[in-house]
Amino acid sequence: MPGKRHLFAPGPTPVPPEVLAAGAQPVIHHRGPDFRELMRRCLGRLQQVCRTENDVLLFTASGSGAFESAIVNLLSPGERVLVVCAGEFGQRWAALAATYGTDVKELRYAWGETPRAEDLRAALADTGAEVVVLVHSETSTGVVADVEPLARVAREAGALTVVDAVSSLGAVPLETDGWGLDVVVAGSQKALMTPPGLSLVTVSAGAWERAARSTTPRFYFDWAKHRASLEIGTTPFTPAVSLVAALDTALGMVLEEGLENTFARHAALGRACREGAKAMGLELFSPDEERSAVVTAILTPDGIDARELVLALRDRFGITVAGGHGELGERMFRIGHIGYYDVFDITTALAAVEILLAEQGAEIERGAAAARALDAYGETVRV
Ligand SMILES: *Cc1c(COP(=O)(O)O)cnc(C)c1O
- Residue by residue, DSSP assigns 158-183 as T-EEEEE-TTTTTTS---TTTTT-SE
Dihedral pair phi/psi, residue 58, rounded to 5°: -115, 130
AA identity, residue 282: L
Please give the Cα distance from 184 to 35 (Å, whole number): 24
Question: SS3 for 143?
Answer: strand
173 close to ligand 1 (CB < 6 Angstrom): no
286 close to ligand 1 (CB < 6 Angstrom): no
Q: For each of the domains in the chain, give its residue range(s) and CATH number, in order of start.
A: 17-256 (3.40.640.10), 258-378 (3.90.1150.10)
64 close to ligand 1 (CB < 6 Angstrom): yes
Q: What is the CA radius of gyration of the chain?
A: 21
The answer to whether 190 and 13 are in contact (CB under 8 A) is yes
**Ligand 1 center–CA 164 separation, angstroms:** 8
Q: Which of 139, 192, 201, 286 has most ligand 1 atoms within 8 Å of CB, for mutation?
A: 139
Q: Which of 58, 59, 60, 64 has most ligand 1 atoms within 8 Å of CB, for mutation?
A: 64
**Ligand 1 center–CA 303 separation, angstroms:** 31
127 close to ligand 1 (CB < 6 Angstrom): no
Dihedral pair phi/psi, residue 158, rounded to 5°: 75, 20
* Residue 194, beta-bridge partner list: none
Question: Which pLDDT does position 2 carry in this prediction?
Answer: 53
* Per-residue model confidence as pLDDT tens for the chain (383 residues): 558 999 999 999 999 999 999 999 999 999 999 999 999 999 999 999 999 999 999 999 999 999 999 999 999 999 999 999 999 999 999 999 999 999 999 999 999 999 999 999 999 999 999 999 999 999 999 999 999 999 999 999 999 999 999 999 999 999 999 999 999 999 999 999 999 999 999 999 999 999 999 999 999 999 999 999 999 989 999 999 999 999 999 999 999 999 999 999 999 999 999 999 999 999 999 999 999 999 999 999 999 999 999 999 999 999 999 999 988 899 999 999 999 999 999 999 999 999 999 999 999 999 999 999 999 998 865 54
Please give the Cα distance from 174 to 211 (Å, whole number): 24
88 close to ligand 1 (CB < 6 Angstrom): no
166 close to ligand 1 (CB < 6 Angstrom): yes
139 close to ligand 1 (CB < 6 Angstrom): yes
167 close to ligand 1 (CB < 6 Angstrom): yes
Question: Which pLDDT does position 104 carry in this prediction?
Answer: 98
**Ligand 1 center–CA 82 separation, angstroms:** 19
63 close to ligand 1 (CB < 6 Angstrom): yes
135 close to ligand 1 (CB < 6 Angstrom): yes
Q: For residue 137, give the ligand 1 atom closest to its CA.
A: 13
Question: Which pLDDT does position 327 carry in this prediction?
Answer: 83
